[in-house]
Amino acid sequence: MLLLTFALLQLVDFATTLVGLSLGASEASPLVRFLLASGLGPVLSVGGSKLVAFALAGACLFLQRRHVIRWINYWYAALGAWNIFIIVRLATVA
C-alpha cells in the first residue's frame, strides 16, 4: 500500500504540475526549473523529476528505509493540495 500511495501521489503531482504550468504557474523545484530551462519542455522535465523520485524510493527500499517513503508521501500529499490550490486560484483569476 505504501508504494501504491507513492505512485499515485507522483501521478497527482505530475498532472497538477503540468496543469499549473500551462496556466502560468512557476515551478519551485530547482531540478524541474533546470530541466525546463534546458529546453526539454514541461512533460519531459516533470517526467524526469518523477524518474528521480522513483529512483530515490527504490534506494529507500533497498536500504530498508520504508519510513522515509511514508514521510515523502505526506510531503507529496501536501504538495498535491498546494498545486490544486494554485490551479484553482489561477483559473479563477483568468
Domain ranges of the chain: 2-93
The helix (run of H) or strand (run of E) holding residue 14 is helix 2-22
Q: Is the dihedral of CA 29, 36, 19, 58 positive or negative?
A: negative
pLDDT for 93 equals 81
pLDDT for 6 equals 98
Look over the chain and give the mean of its residue pLDDT values, rounded to a whole number. 96
Report, as an integer, the average pLDDT of 29-43.
Answer: 95
Distance CA 82, CA 77 (A): 9
pLDDT for 45 equals 97
pLDDT for 94 equals 61
Report, as an integer, the average pLDDT of 13-41.
Answer: 96
Q: Given pLDDT bands bounded at 50, 70 and 90, which one contains residue 29? A: very high
